Every structure is written in structure tokens, then in C-alpha cells.
Amino acid sequence: MSSNEKPAVNGETSQVTFARDLGLFDSTMIGVGAMIGAGIFVLTGIAAGEAGPGSMLAFALNAVVTLLTAFAYAELASAHPRAGGGYSYVRMAFPGSAGFTAGWMLWFAYTVACSLYALGFAGYLWEFVHKYFPSISEFVFGLIGHDRSILTVTFMVGIGFTWLNVRGAEVTGKTENVLTISKIIVLGIFVAFGLARVFDEPQQAMDSFTPFLPNGMGGVLVAMGLTFIAFEGYDLIATVAEEIKDPEKNIPRATFISLGITIIIYMLILFVALAAISPDEGSSWEFLGKFKETAIVRAAEDFMPAFGVALIVLGGLLSTMSALNATVMAASRVAFSMGRDLWLPKQVAQIHSKRRTPHIAILVTGVILIVMALTLPIETVGSAASLIFLLTFAMVNLSVIALRRKHPELPRKYKLPFYPVTPILGFGLNIFLALYQFKFQPMAWFVTIGWVAVGLLLYYAVFEKKSSALQPQVLIPQKPTAEEEREPCILVALHNPSNMGALLNLAYPIAKQRGLKVVAATVVEVPRQVPVHDGMRLAHHREALLKQARETAAEHKEQIGTELVIAHRASDGILAAVQAQNAELLIMGWKGYSNTRDRLFGDIADKVIRYVPCDMALVKFEDKTELSSCLFPTAGGPNARLAASMLNAIAPANNMSVTTGYVVPEQATEEQKQEAEAHLNETFEEVDRPASWDTKMITARTVAGGIAKAGRDYDLVVIGAAKEPFFRRVLFGEIPEKVARYSPTAVMVVKRYEGAVKSILKRILG
């Protein structure tokens, strides 16, 4: 038995899952602990040296950039709370190599960050020992050397926090709480002494900020690129989503609370470091820039009592420990999630049956972080990690747009504001900072490109084939021959036996008009965990529907082909049948409502409408399927012309009377009436209008309401899809969708295929 399974009732097995041990406070501390790492101690002096007092602007702008992406993480995590965080969202939005690359990069970046924190802890520890216990440090350095002393501590702390994470999320979370609160207290003491100095000497503090931008905005941009990694860490909250209680609410809350706490602390530390010190020569920012990584320690020496240096070194130790603890947890969850998707060896996705932690993923991550810390030029790969975070955050912003369009049915307890402006801005700013980083750290790009190339080589050589077993599959038991594939057809998707005859009665005359055959297709939908070939055992009830279609065709002396498709998702099955049969037109029934406002026509129909590579007619039937009268409201356009052409075939074959119509406001002027009539006439510029067809002017406050009300006097309303702005969450256009949803009579909405280029764009952006 796999360690991911445990005995269950009746001999079945149940999957071992994560324990949801982390509450809002624990989740917030993970974010704060990861963000307030050694970075704030190391980067304060570096940022001040590049931008002067403008380093505060650099931190503030980074906070804005970070907040834009945090909005994206909050929405995605509330809708899709899975382990893996950013990787899981990108994989869901862009399956295949793009999703794998996101996980591969993120795992690398988190693991490198772990190595940095482990080395940082070792450096701070020996700094503390050397200052207060010099005899011990001199003995150890003399025995094994300075570098080996640091590597030894790095090795030990790496093992320690790997073991702690194996113990369980609850233990890890409690440890994180203690470490994070302790370092906040330490930093609070530093800020308090700094503010006391500022209040004592306010004029000196004000002079420290003049000039504010000594190196111009260029210095601010460089400082932004160097310090952005200090804001990375809130995303770790989403990475452990499967271990958070009530994740739909707690993840967005924890994300924004942790960001708020961190931004306030960062700005206060930077402010007091600039305003509170009084160097003998030069300005405060030049003093901080001179000492770079140790600038905070020097600032503490200037305005704190004798214990100030010890306190800051203690803060550095606590910060590196809490950041290491949180990042080991996050890195292992990315590895676990990739193993679950078979994009790493499946053993990585095992969960310990007692501790309920991904112990293999944690151990693998621990080994890699220790090897990296002991062997690689960590400064170079650290720069690459910062770049990777920027690129991953950009992909997460794109994922919000893609998943809004691909999966509108997902329950989103939190939605980011000002969509789609917010994710577009987040994407653009992250990409800008990533490209700008090449100016001062080109090696980071080379390391990143090399790591991605290795990952893609492994993906295409090993993991792509293995992971395909988990993807939704489609099986067409009797595939058409090559000659049959080249012959177009009218495809009718069947599901409900009660409207089967009505759908076929619409299809036959159109097929005769175009000289095509009619093919009836139905889908056997099988659960994802069942191999698609096993669906043959479930096909008998769908075989009966196809048999009924053949009998109905024989009664009407019509020819018909049939297609049985087995699929994990019905929408995939219908699309596969369209491709296999080379369909020129798809006719599909619709039940007339969806279970949620986020689904316009239901999960199946929505996906088919988005991706079908041919003309389409979606038909909603009400109480009766005998259609003797039709209302055809139109305002011109290619979809309306297609609908008119189809009605030219359907109406005479079904003895159906047709009334064309146009809608005008209740108090319409003569000019408005003439304009509406002109739009109607535009429909028939390329399509014949039989003399027997009537014309009706409909007056109403709204177009959709007028059509729905007028349609009550007819058996069928036929309407062409409308054009809508690109980012609107619409499939047929606002008016046709409202008519289709709310009309009390049967409705057929017709949509012309938009062509290959637009189809490709839709598949890319969802």
C-alpha cells in the first residue's frame, strides 16, 4: 500500500491528505516571517547607497508592485486552494510546458532562498560569537578556518529545519509564530530608539532627506531591482493552502495583513536608519551605502546603547531562522504539487500517514538546499532567484485573466479590484523590473535561462509522457478514415432524448441546403480517476440514444451517421467529435439555465462555445418542440446573415412562418426607426429574404427585454451572436445571452466561426 493511502471501510482505500492545522494568525506569521528575513538587514544599506533617501520611494514602489500581484494571489488562492501556490495557478491556466516551467523555476527559487537564509544565519551567528565570545570564534576559525565554520553551521541549521518541517505543519507553524513575534519585538526596539533620536534632533533628521534623489530616478529603479526580493514571501501563504483552515477566507486576509505589517516595518526601519544617525563625515545615506550589508549594525551602534549591536545580530538570527523555516515549507509544497502532477517522480508526492507532511518532498528539498549552500556561488544563483520570482509573479497575473475566462464557474470568495487593469499592471511592472535587472545583473538571466533549459529537457524527455496519464482523455472508438475526415458534415450533439427529434429537424434542411451529411454524436462522460477506455462499459445508455437517432432518421427517410465519444469531460468529447468529423456546423441543445451566475450556459456549453472551430447554433427548447412560427430580430452583421441563411432552409422544411424584426426605443424618432430598418436590411444584402416573411417593429426600453416579450407570440426566436469587447465575460454578446436566458419560448443563437487566428488567441488567453 502506498504511504498516501490508508485502510478504509469495505476494503476501499482513502487518500492521506494534509491536516488543516494553520489558522489566520499562523498563516499571517508565515507571510511575515518569510518577508522579514535577512533581506531587510542586508539590503537597507545597499538601497540607501544606490538611491539615497529615495530608497524609501524605492521600497514604497516595490510595495505597490507587490500589492498588485498579491491581489492576484488572493483571488486565485480563494478559488483554488491547492498546495504549490503560484505553480498550481499557472499550471491550471497554462497546462503543459508553461505550467511545468513555472513549477520548476519556483522550486529552484525557493530552494535557493533557503540556501541564502541558511548561509545568512551562519554568518550572523559567527558575527555574534566573534564580537561577544572572541576566544571561541578564534579557536574554531584556527581549527577549521572561517569558511568551513560558516559551512558547518549552514549544514547543521539546514538539517535542523528540514527535520522540523518533517515533524508537521502544526509544529512548524508554532515555531514560526515564536520566531516571527520575537524578531518583530527586536525590530520594534530598534525603531523605538531610532524615533527617540529623531524626536530629540528633528532638524538633523529633516536634513538627512535633502537631497531626496541624489542619484535621480535611475538610482531608485536600481534600488527597486535590488530590494524587490525583500517583498517576496507573502506568496508562501498560498503555497501551503491545503494546510490552512477555511482557506477561501483566511488566505486573502493573511496575505494582506502580512503585507501591511511588513511594509510598515520596512518603511520605519529605513526611515530611522536614514534620519537617526549622525555620521562624522558625509550624509546618512552615504554612511549606510558605505557599510552596505552591515549598515543596520552600524546604525544601531550610533543611536542605541551598548546592547544595540547584540540586539540587531539577534534580530538577524531570528529573521534568517523564520524565513528559512517558512521557505523550506513552501519549497517542499511546490515539489509535492509537481510530484502529484507527475512532473517530478511520484514518490515526491507521498504524504506521511501519521505526521501528514510531504516528508519525501521536504527531505529532497533539504538535501538540495544544503548542497547548493555548500557548493554553488550563492550570490549568482541568489540573483537568479530574485529574477525568477519576478517572472513567476508576472505569470501569476496572467493566470488571473486566463482562469477568469477558462473557468468562470470557480467560486471566488475574493475578487481582485479593477479587473483586468490590476493584473495587466502587475504583469507589466514585474516584467519591467525583470528586464531592468539585466542592466546590472546580467548573469542572473544566464543562470535562469540555463535552469529553464535543463527543466524543459527533462520535461520533454521524461515527465510529459508520464503526466499525460493524469490529463482529461477523449476516446473515439470508431475513428473516421482519412477519406471520411475530409468530408464536412453537420454535427448534432445529443444528450436529452426529448429534444433529439427537434434538433435533427433543424439539422436536416441545413445539410440539404449545403449538400452535407448529418452526424449525431453523444458523449459518455467518465470520472477523472477512471481510465477513459473503461468508459466502454458505461456506454450502453448512450448507444441507445444513437440507436433512437438512427430509427428517427429512417422514419423520415433521412441519412444519418452516428458518433460515440468517451471522455473525462463532456465538452472535450464534443470538441473532439467536431474535429474528427470535420464539422462545418455544430447544433447543440441547452437546458435553458445554469447552476451559477458565473456560468452563462453551463460548464459544458460555455467551453464548447469558446473553443469550437466551426459555426455553431445553440438551441434552448421549452415545453414544446414543434416549431411553426419564428421571430428573427436582427441588427445586421455576419452572425445574423448566417442565421438568415439557416432559416432559409429550416422554415420551408418545417412549414414555419418567419417574422423579421428590429427593436427601437419606446419614443423612437423617425430617424431612429429608419436606422433600425437599415440594419435589418443589411442582414439580407447577401442572403435572400422570402416574400412570405413579415417584418415587425418592436418598441421597448431595452433590446433584450423587447425581444423576449415579443417572442412570447412565437414558437422560436432566432438571433445572431453580437460582437463584444475582448475582455468582456461574454460568449455570444450581452443581448443574445439575455434573450437566451430569459425568453419564455424556444431560442436559437447562431455564431459564425471567427477563424484560425482568433481561435489561437482564445486558446492562449482562455
**pLDDT higher than 90, residue 32:** no
- How wide is the angle at C-alpha 745 spanned by C-alphas 740 and 749, nearest 5°? 35
Question: Which residues neighbour 254 within 8 Å (Cβ) at sequence distance 6 or greater?
Answer: 24, 27, 28, 30, 31, 237, 244
Percent of the chain exceeding pLDDT 70 equals 85
Interval 406-424 mean pLDDT: 83
Of residues 416 and 411, more confidence is placed in 416
pLDDT (0 to 100) of residue 448: 87
Interval 625-650 mean pLDDT: 87
C-alpha span between 417 and 613 (Å, rounded): 33
**pLDDT higher than 70, residue 531:** no
pLDDT (0 to 100) of residue 691: 83
CB-based contact 713:670 (threshold 8 Å): no
pLDDT (0 to 100) of residue 568: 78
**pLDDT higher than 90, residue 500:** no
Read off the pLDDT of residues 379-407 as tens digits, 9 standing for 90 and up.
677 777 778 888 888 999 999 998 887 77
CB-based contact 567:475 (threshold 8 Å): yes
**pLDDT higher than 50, residue 333:** yes
pLDDT (0 to 100) of residue 486: 63
pLDDT (0 to 100) of residue 128: 78
Question: Mean of the per-residue pLDDT values for the chain?
Answer: 80
**pLDDT higher than 70, residue 50:** yes
CA distances from 636 to 335, 519, 678, 680 (A): 54, 30, 9, 6
Of residues 552 and 42, more confidence is placed in 552
Of residues 302 and 256, more confidence is placed in 256
C-alpha span between 687 and 506 (Å, rounded): 19
**pLDDT higher than 70, residue 4:** no
**pLDDT higher than 90, residue 351:** no
In this prediction, residue 761 has a pLDDT band, given cuts at 50, 70 and 90, of very low
**pLDDT higher than 70, residue 92:** yes
Q: Which of 396-410, 499-513, 694-708 has the lowest mean pLDDT?
A: 396-410
Percent of the chain exceeding pLDDT 90 equals 12
Read off the pLDDT of residues 214-244 as tens digits, 9 standing for 90 and up.
888 888 888 887 777 778 778 878 877 777 8
Residue 229 cell numbers, joined: 526580493
**pLDDT higher than 90, residue 492:** yes
170 C-beta neighbours (distance < 10 Å), count: 17
pLDDT (0 to 100) of residue 311: 82
Interval 87-99 mean pLDDT: 83
Q: Which of 331-340, 370-379, 598-607 has the lowest mean pLDDT?
A: 598-607
- How wide is the angle at C-alpha 420 spanned by C-alphas 601 and 386, nearest 5°? 125
Largest Cα span, the chain: 107
Read off the pLDDT of residues 664-693 as tens digits, 9 standing for 90 and up.
888 778 888 888 888 788 888 878 888 888
Most confident stretch, 142-146, 219-223, 505-509: 505-509
Alpha carbons within 13 A on the beta-carbon side of 269: 32
In this prediction, residue 758 has a pLDDT band, given cuts at 50, 70 and 90, of very low
Write down the pTM of the prediction.
Answer: 0.64
In this prediction, residue 756 has a pLDDT band, given cuts at 50, 70 and 90, of very low
Read off the pLDDT of residues 551-581 as tens digits, 9 standing for 90 and up.
888 888 888 988 888 887 888 889 888 988 8
In this prediction, residue 725 has a pLDDT band, given cuts at 50, 70 and 90, of very low
C-alpha span between 574 and 441 (Å, rounded): 50
pLDDT (0 to 100) of residue 525: 82
pLDDT (0 to 100) of residue 519: 92
**pLDDT higher than 50, residue 727:** no
Residue with cell 423617425: 670
308 C-beta neighbours (distance < 10 Å), count: 18
Interval 120-126 mean pLDDT: 81
Read off the pLDDT of residues 572-622 as tens digits, 9 standing for 90 and up.
889 888 988 889 999 998 875 544 444 445 567 777 887 888 999 989 887
CA distances from 454 to 268, 448, 471 (A): 42, 10, 23
In this prediction, residue 762 has a pLDDT band, given cuts at 50, 70 and 90, of very low
Domains observed in the chain: 30-470 (1.20.1740.10), 472-621 (3.40.50.620), 623-753 (3.40.50.620)
Of residues 466 and 216, more confidence is placed in 216
**pLDDT higher than 70, residue 528:** no
CB-based contact 42:31 (threshold 8 Å): no
